[in-house]
Amino acid sequence: MDEKLPDEIRMALTEACRLHERASSDATQCQEFNKRMSRLLIDLEDAGCFRIADRIMTVLLHCNPKDGSHCDKATIVREKMKKLDTVPQ
């Protein structure tokens, strides 16, 4: 069964994908990305979109922002975000 993403969640996901493109070299944006993804996970679970929520959880497992350092797993997270950006409507 395909999950229908509510428009506001789809927009938040798109914004998070764009933010990640800028975040891997900026610790502050990286932390903001992590916070947005955490909120998005909660919203997805509340909306019953569990398959996509599981995919967000996988992103969060790899996303561990640290002050003053470059993201070790930016490439892995970027690839997972590209897949999320193509989630069907």
Query: What is the tens place of the pLDDT at every residue in 34-46?
Result: 899 999 999 999 9
For residue 49, the model assigns a pLDDT of 92
Q: Residue 42: which of 62, 56, 58, 63 has the closest Cα?
A: 56
Retrieve residue 71's tokens: 């993201």
Average pLDDT over residues 9-15: 90
Cβ atoms of 61 and 37 within 8 Å: the answer is no
pLDDT for residue 1 is more than 50: no
State the pTM of this model: 0.81
Cβ atoms of 79 and 24 within 8 Å: the answer is no
Q: Cα dist. 65→13, 62, 68 in Å?
A: 19, 10, 9
Alpha-carbon gap, residue 34 to 67, rounded angstroms: 13
Q: What mean pLDDT, rounded, does the chain reach?
A: 83
Least confident of 30-39, 56-65, 80-89: 80-89
pLDDT for residue 23 is more than 70: yes
Alpha-carbon gap, residue 44 to 26, rounded angstroms: 26
